[in-house]
A and B are shown apart, each in its own frame.
Chain A
Amino acid sequence: MQLAPILGRRLLGAAALILAVLVLNFVLIRLAPGDPALTIAGGMGGITEEILRDIRQAYGLDRPLHHQFALYLERMLSGDLGHSLFFNAPVIDLILDRLGPTVLLIMTAMAIALTLGTYLGVLASRKPGGFVTNLVTVLSLVGYSAPVFWTGIVLLLLFSATIPLFPLSGMYDVRADSAGLLLALDIAHHLALPAITLAIVFLAQYSRISRASMLDVLGAEYIRTARAKGLSDRAVLFRHALPNAILPVVTVAGLQFGNMLSGAVLVEVVFNWPGLGQLAFESILRRDHPTVLGILFFATVMVVAADLLTDIAYGIVDPRIRAGTSPP
């Protein structure tokens, strides 16, 4: 079976999915109680109805819902995500400003979770019931069951407030005025805690999945053959067993992208990381409908793209899929 037709079908399905999510989001966000005009008008004020009316007119909030949706779709199709009600800026600019930090956070967390999770899973699979296995199991359970914002606050208290290893918040030290390599190091220093926080939840899952998968694969005959050939334990584990055992991990990693994105919202709020999650948090609190819709649209596209990439990666990792054959 060729990859192209599968990809074509997937792309069509993805477009339909994005449209459906768009409609759903548009309706849901307007069901939330709260008047965006009030938050635009400013805080503890005695705002008059005249000013509120002006604001509603200026932002088209006084029009019927279906008019607003038609206008929104029309703009969307021409690549315009609208204008933020609260921040008074094009939504696309706001999103592009924040996209980089979120991608950096998610990719770093994903890299940590995948490599460390898989490695721990492999270690645990060597001696089921041993100390390392039990330790990994316990840590996995704790990491998986603790809410991500709680983990974040605990890490902040431990490694920033009590033991001052990492900065508390933000993406770089604004007082330092650094540039180039120094700035990159500063960002890495600020990135460490939020990335570890986000990685912990997924690390737990990946370590458990890779352990279970490795245990399956290690029982296979070809592994016994490899061992019989006198290969080292390391070679058996990493060269023969792992490539087959990693398949479920890759699948779950792709499917988990959406979860990671939602986890990033909380992590960004706790660590004040200037990404899409923080923007979403601020926009939801202020009923900034266009910005929330824009972020949700972007998030949908990112999740669908991750799904597609998983399919492709699956094909690359497992030659049977590329060749259109199914496993025996």
Chain B
Amino acid sequence: MYDFRTHRHSPLGRPGGRPSGNPARPLPRAAALATTLCLVLAALAFPAFAAEPRSGGTLVVAGGAGLRHLNPAVQSGAHAGLGVQLFAGLVRVDDGFRPRPYLAERWEISGDGLSYAFHLVPNARFHDGTPITSEDVAFSLAVVKRNHPFGMAMFDAVDRVDTPDPLTAVIRLARPHPALMQSLVPLLMPVIPRHVFGDGRDPKTHPMNAAPVGSGPFRFKEWVRGQHVILERNDDFFIEGRPLLDRIVVKFFNLPSVRMLALEKGEVDYYPFAGVRFRDVPRIADNPDLRVSTRGYEALGPLNYVEFNLREPPFDDLRVRRAVAYAIDQDFLVNTLHGGLPRPGYGPLHRSSPFHSDGLNRYPVDLDRARKLLDDAGYAPDAEGLRLRVVLDYPPFHVDSLATGANYIRAQLKKVGIAVDLRPAADFPSWAQRIGSWDYQFTMNSHWTYPDPVIGVHRIYLCGNIRKTVWSNTQGYCNERVDALLREAESTIDVPTRKALYAEFQRIVNRELPLYFINEEPYVTVSRRYVMDLPETVWGPMQPMDRVWLDR
């Protein structure tokens, strides 16, 4: 848990820790005792003091512009999260990444790990009243596999889906697939109606993507483009007594600052992925009406890094990449420039991943060593101390981490004789095209690692995934040993074995530095205090809000 006043993380920051709110100032022991006594007496005197969840009310959520449609089966990214309220998945996961029943009330996995039989809840219906059957599950998986950006990573191992009866779907695998259960959450594999989307039209451009018939806790009511989306309670939801809210209104704002103002003013109640500067977080946390949290984004696992184009000098030389790493003072960057809100990152797996390794080389700042490495690489300084000149690109997102980081790196590399010209991108497509066409030297970058490395990490390192699209292996890294480790890890179920495979993978990447990791991007959630039981498990705002209620 991050303490917004002291700017330090406590051990509770790991998934499963206590939810954070406004941190309390330490109280003297007597005052603490008196406060506890008062609270107990108050709770006894007023039973309503410990408020029970109650239904009703409208939750207004602040959203960013750019919603394309509402079908998460054929898109990824932050906007896909809205679809999670509309569509149910077979399972959902808790704050320890453990699968929990959702549309599937139970499941059995065969001994060889090649067959997963899911038993659907019997009373589940789509929003138009049609029963949800195993045929819909099979159809949805096929749509996701073919059309979702991660479809192949998630379901390439799926051979077929058998439907022995309307309430049983059996996923048959061609090989063991450790990421299967993590891929069946509503965000990644929403169960969509076959009778609506199976009419032969392209699911990516299907007109019903804009007004979908869903299976989740809320049903679609209205979408006024650029203004808002209104979802209403699904009274026929298959979980008794849920959802608690009457309506969810997602209000779109172009400017993050206006979004924050709207929250402070009470025009919106909940602001996930809050676009606030790291330095502003303590100020916001001081507002007694607001609750601030950095929990609930562990399944996304966003990592920020410097990506080197390994195809051409100077960054084809490991010594130059290491020189860059030794020139950067990560502690200063994270704790001083970013106020300690982000956590440093040293390797390709996010801290929240069960496969994350500690003990990687942290490349402590050592300017002499950096200079020596550049000497060895043949980049001797000229009369003015200049060794080489390079261009550093940076994208327009994660501004605090990436734009500030780029400016810091320029200043720091100058100390070892590397002149850096910064090239900020006007907008995302400009940057994405430059990186996607490999037309860069090095760039600030970031990607989501997702709940299993098979989904979000392998794509960045596999030799076969050197593609001309961003967030593939654009740096052109190819190591046969890494390929072998990742291939083995993607078809191994045994967790300790996978841990060992990923440990070696992390060591190699940490040594060879195709990417130099800077920090884990801390996404922030800000909400009004009366919004209760907001989803803070690993998928955070991208999981169903059926338990959310308003205490006012």
Contact = CB atoms under 8 A, between A and B. Distances in A.
Interface string A21-40: 00000000000111110111
Interface stretch (B25-33, B191-199, B307-315, B462-470): B462-470
Interface in B131-162: 147, 149-150, 152-153
A38 B265 contact: no
B252 A52 contact: no
Interface string B247-272: 00101111101100110110100000
B428 A274 contact: no
B254 A38 contact: no
Contact of A170 (B150, B251, B264, B459): B251
A168 interface: yes
A77 interface: no
A282 B12 CA distance: 40
B471 interface: yes
Interface string A45-59: 111110110110010
Contacts of A98: 225-226
A52 B433 CA distance: 13
Nearest to B267: A168
Interface stretch (B2-10, B74-82, B343-351): B74-82
B36 interface: no
A160 B80 CA distance: 31
Given A46-B153, A175-B249, A170 B430 contact: no
Given A33-B433, A38-B432, A98-B226, A44 B254 contact: no
Contacts of A87: 68, 225
A284 B75 CA distance: 20
B428 to A, nearest CB: 7
B105 interface: no
Contacts of A219: none
A39 B469 contact: no
B254 A34 contact: no
Interface string B59-102: 01000011011000011111110000000000000000000000
Interface in A76-93: 86-89
Count class of interface residues, chain B: 35 or more
B254 A89 contact: no
Contact of A40 (B68, B210, B225): B68
A167 B149 CA distance: 39
A270 B230 CA distance: 22
Interface in A265-287: 269-270, 272, 274, 278-279, 281-282, 284-287
Nearest to A157: B261
Interface in B203-257: 204-205, 207, 209-210, 224-228, 230, 249, 251-255, 257
Contacts of B225: 87, 94, 97-98, 274, 279
B385 interface: no
A44 B471 contact: yes
Contacts of B262: 168-169
Most interface-central of B147, B252, B434 (chain A CB within 10 A): B252
Contacts of A32: 429-430
Contacts of B79: 42-43
B76 A43 contact: yes
Contacts of B447: 44
Interface string A280-314: 01101111000000000000000000000000000
A35 B427 CA distance: 12
A174 interface: yes
B436 A282 contact: no
Nearest to B76: A45
Interface in B421-442: 427-430, 432-434, 436
B261 A88 contact: no
B202 interface: yes
Contacts of B115: none
Contacts of A86: 68
7 contacts: A38-B432, A38-B470, A42-B76, A44-B77, A44-B447, A47-B149, A169-B253
Interface of A: 32-36, 38-49, 51-52, 54-55, 58, 86-89, 94, 97-98, 153, 156-157, 160-161, 164, 167-171, 174-175, 269-270, 272, 274, 278-279, 281-282, 284-287
Given A42-B74, A274-B225, A282-B66, 5 more contacts: A45-B150, A49-B467, A157-B261, A167-B267, A168-B258
Complex A-B, nearest 9 residue pairs according to Cβ-Cβ distance, in ascending order:
A43-B77, A34-B429, A45-B149, A42-B75, A45-B76, A46-B459, A47-B149, A33-B430, A274-B226
